[in-house]
Amino acid sequence: MTKPAAGAAASPAVAERDIRASDADRDRVAEILREALAEGRLDPEEHAERIDTVYRAKTLGELEPVVQDLPAAGGRGPRPDPGGYASGPGAPVPDQNLVAIFSAAVRKGRWRAPARINAVAFFGSVEIDLTEAVFPQQQIQINVTAVFGSVEIRVPENITLRSSGSGILGSFEVETHDAEDTDAPQVLVNGYAVLGSVEAKPKRGAWIRDLRDRLRQGHRELRQQVWEEHREYRQQLREDRREWHERRRSERRERRDPFRKDMDG
């Protein structure tokens, strides 16, 4: 066997335009088209044609021409979906404060988790459930202060959970865990417990990928709805054009009839 010569060019990588388009890529381009329609840059028929192209596109290169003449594109072609755990494009989520003073504070269900959460329990209890949360960024920091109170944190099984907190005459128990996926979100729990308790651990059976699948299903249903609406719209346009042509032909016949009668007479 012969070794390749030094400095020989490696096999070329796949060009970005040839990368397969993801659902998120198509949704981003569709959003640009919706804004262009609202601003009057596209008429309804052009919008319908381009939306049809978007949802038939297989690669990023097929998506680029659809928005290259629109300022909303900002000179950027669609980027490949990193396949991570984010919910999609959106404004940064502001920090959230959960304070329980002789009371209880709970945050759970489907929500967009911010990069920083501050939890304070003073003779009260705070519950933070991230098992159904959407992670717009990879790292979330939870700062905890528990004084004669308790803070309970639950996270999905397939994320990284770490801690640098301590207990002072109290308990600070964090079940640290490293996810197998290096791109998985990381939750860092910091703070202290004074005559109180802090507990953070994965919730068995709760996987963040399940939520991502549900989001993808929601995108598919939305695309199907948009497709049906545009198909009905295009059908209506065709019918309107046929009616318009029929009226024009009828008007031309009416204008020609008097001349024919005069010639026959």
DSSP string, 118-163: EEEEESSEEEEE-TT-B-SSSEEEEEEEEESSEEEEEE-TTSEEEE
Are both 130 and 63 inside the same structural domain?
no
Residue 87 lies in a domain: no
pLDDT of res. 9: 45
Place of tokens 């007479």: 265
Are both 140 and 111 inside the same structural domain?
yes
pLDDT of res. 83: 37
Residue 147 lies in a domain: yes
pLDDT of res. 72: 53
> What are the beta bridge partners of residue 11?
none
Are both 196 and 133 inside the same structural domain?
yes
Confidence of residue 126 (pLDDT cuts 50, 70, 90): very high
Q: What is the tally of structural domains in the chain?
A: 2
Are both 42 and 130 inside the same structural domain?
no
pLDDT exceeds 80 at position 257 = no
pLDDT of res. 127: 94
Confidence of residue 232 (pLDDT cuts 50, 70, 90): confident
Are both 39 and 119 inside the same structural domain?
no
Residue 265 lies in a domain: no
Report the mean per-residue pLDDT for the chain: 77
Q: Average of pLDDT values for 185-208? A: 83
Residue 64 lies in a domain: yes
Residue 198 lies in a domain: yes
Top-ranked range on mean pLDDT: pick from 134-138, 227-231, 256-260: 134-138
Query: Using CA atoms, how far apart are residues 123 and 137, in angstroms rounded to an integer?
Result: 32
Structural domain boundaries enclosing 235 = 17-81+212-252
Ranking 72-81, 160-169, 205-214, 240-249 by mean pLDDT, the lowest is: 72-81
Confidence of residue 1 (pLDDT cuts 50, 70, 90): very low
Residue 66 lies in a domain: yes
Residue 259 lies in a domain: no
Are both 193 and 245 inside the same structural domain?
no
pLDDT exceeds 60 at position 81 = no
pLDDT of res. 261: 62
Residue 260 lies in a domain: no
